[in-house]
Structure 1
Amino acid sequence: MAVHSKNEALMCKVFLSSLGPVAIRWFDGLRAGSISSFKELTQTFGSRFITCNRAPHPLASLLSMSIRDGATLKAYSNRYWEMFNEIKGDFKDMAINTFKLGLLAEHGLRKSLTGKPVTSICQLMDRIDKYKRVEEEQLQDKGKGKIIP
C-alpha cells in the first residue's frame, strides 16, 4: 500500500479488500460521499472498531493464573505463555516465579523448580517440556489400563 499512497482511490479499494464480513457490512452502510479521503476513512474505521483492538494485559494477569483442578501441565503452560505474550514490557525475570506460583504446591515441577531453581526462560521451558513428557506418558499408560501411583 505504501507504493500507492498517493492514489487515494486505490488505497480505499485495497483497504476494502482487507476487511472481514462485519467491517464490510459497516463499509457498505456508509453514505455515498460521506468519506472524502483515505485518512478520513481510516479514522472513521478506527473509531468504529476501536473495541476490536486488544489491550495488553497487565503483569498482574500472570499472578492470577494457576493450573486448574484436573488440568494438564500442557494446558496450563499453553494458557500461561499465551497470556505472557500478551503482556507489554520485558518481564522475563518474573516469568519463572509467576509460572511456578501457578502450580499446585504438590506438583512435581513446582518442587523441582523450588529445589533446583532455573535462571532463564530457556531453562524453564526445558524443565516444563520434561515434565510435560512425563505427564503425557502417564496419561498414555493410564489409557492402556496401567495403574499409575
Structure 2
Amino acid sequence: MEVYQVPEMTRCRLFAASLRGNAQQWFSKLGPASIRTWRQLEDLFVRQFQSTLHCSPPVATLANIKQREGEPLAEYFRRFNAEVPKVRGASEETIKNFLITGLKEGSKF
C-alpha cells in the first residue's frame, strides 16, 4: 500500500475488511470514528495481538532430539519429524545432519 500510495483511510477500510475471527471481533468493538490514522490502527492492532504471536524455535533445537535408549528407529523418526515443521529456515541438509547426529551409537540406520 505504501508503494501505491494508498490513502490512509482506504488502508484502514481495506484492513478492516480483511479481518477474520478474533481480529474481526476486536475491531467491531472499537468505537465509531475512534481510528483517525493508519498509524493509530496499526499501533492498536499490534498492542492487542502481539502477545499471541508464536515464535518459531531456532533450528538448533533439532540437535537436542536424540534417539533414546531402546527406542526403535521408527519412533525416533516420528518424534524428530514432528519437530521439524516447528522450526523455520532449516535447509534439508541441516535437517538430515541433525537427524543422523541424534541416532544412538551403533544404530541400525
Structure-2 change in CA distance of 1:65 and 1:20 (3 Å):
farther
Preserved contact between residue 56 and residue 86 of structure 2 (Cα < 8 Å): no
Quick one: distance in 2 between partners of 1:100 and 1:18? 44
Structure-2 change in CA distance of 1:33 and 1:93 (3 Å):
same
Return the letter of the residue paired with 1:33.
A
Q: Report matched runs for 1:18-37 at 5 Å.
A: 18-37=18-37
- The higher-RCO structure (CA 8 Å, 6+ apart) is 2
Structure-2 change in CA distance of 1:64 and 1:77 (3 Å):
closer
Structure-2 change in CA distance of 1:20 and 1:108 (3 Å):
farther
Larger Rg: 1
RMSD (Å) for aligned C-alpha atoms = 3.2
Same amino acid, percent of matched pairs: 23
Normalising by structure 1, we get a TM-score of 0.53
Matched residues, number: 105
| Structure 1 gap segments, 5+ residues each | 110-149
Structure-2 change in CA distance of 1:29 and 1:78 (3 Å):
same
Give the equivalent residue in structure 2 for 1:82. Answer: 85
TM-superposed deviation, 1:54:
2.8
TM-superposed deviation, 1:64:
2.3
| Structure 2 gap segments, 5+ residues each | none
Quick one: distance in 1 between partners of 2:11 and 2:103? 50
